[in-house]
Amino acid sequence: MASRDRERRIRRIIRWLTVLSIVLGLFSTLIYASGSHLVIRYFNPQLGAWWDTHQFAIMEVSATALGLLIAIRCASRLVEDVDTRRRAKIFSLVVSAIIVIPLSHTVASIARLGWDGHGARVRDFLQAIADYGTGNILDKIVMGGVYFFKSVAFAALAGLALFAIVMVILMSLEKSDTVAEQRESPLP
C-alpha cells in the first residue's frame, strides 16, 4: 500500500514536470520564433534582456526535458514490478536532471540538421494564404515548432536508452539475490 502511494506521488511529480516543460517549451518557442521578446522588453527591460539572452537555452532544455520525461513515462509502463518501476522512475529522473543540460546541447545540434528540405515551399504556402509579413512570421513559428518537436523526439530516444541502462543497473543490483539463491541450491 505504501509503495503504491509512493508510486502515485512520483507519477504526480513526473506529470507536473511534463506539464511545466510543455508550457515553458511552447511559450519559449513561440516567443523565440516570432521575435516577441520585444514585448517583454517593453514592459520590463531587464527581464526582456534576460529572456532574450536565455530563450533559446530555455526552449532547448524544455524540449530535452520533455523528451526525457515522455520516454520515462512510456518506458516505465512496460515494467511489471511496482517497486522496480518506482525505483526506475526515481533513478531515471535523477540521471535526467544531471544530463538534461549537456544533452540539450547535443539535441540542439542534431535537431538543427535536415530542416529546409521543403522550407521554401512551406514559406511560399504561408505567404500565399496570409500576406507577406504574416507569412514570414508564421514560417518562423512553424520552423521553430518543428525544431522543438525534433528536439523532443531525439531527447525521447536518448531517454529510452537512459531508461534501458537504469533497468540494467536495477537488474544487476538484484543479482545478489540470485547468487544467494544459487548458494542455497546449487545447480547439479
Partner 1 sequence: MLFSWRMLVLFIHVTSVIVALGGSLFSTFALTPILAQELDVTTRVKVARRVIRRLGAIVLTALAILVATGLLNVMYMGGVTPLLAIKLVLVAIVIVLALYQYGSVGVRIWRHSAGGPNALVGPLQARFRTIGLTVGTLVLIIVYLSLGLTRGGLGIAAPYID
Grid coordinates belonging to 12: 504526480
Give CA–CA dist 126/152, Å, rounded. 25
Of 72, 62, 67, the closest CA to residue 11 belongs to 72
Rounded least distance, CB 123 to partner 1, Å? 12
What CA dihedral angle connects 31, 35, 36 and 42, to 10 degrees? 130
User: What distances in angstroms separate CA 138 from CA 13, 35, 51, 93, one per listed residue?
Assistant: 34, 11, 21, 35
Nearer to partner 1, 51 or 154 (CB): 154
Pick the piece of the chain touching partner 1 (CB under 8 A) from 3-11, 20-28, 59-67, 156-164.
156-164
Closer to partner 1 at the Cβ: 12 or 81? Answer: 81
With CB under 8 A as the contact rule, the residue among 4, 94, 112, 129 that binds partner 1 is 112
Select the residue interacting with partner 1 from 74, 104, 122, 184 (CB under 8 A): 74
Which residues contact partner 1 (rule: CB under 8 A)? 74-75, 78-81, 84, 106, 109-110, 112-117, 119, 150, 153-154, 156-158, 160-165, 167-168, 171-172, 175, 178, 181, 187-188
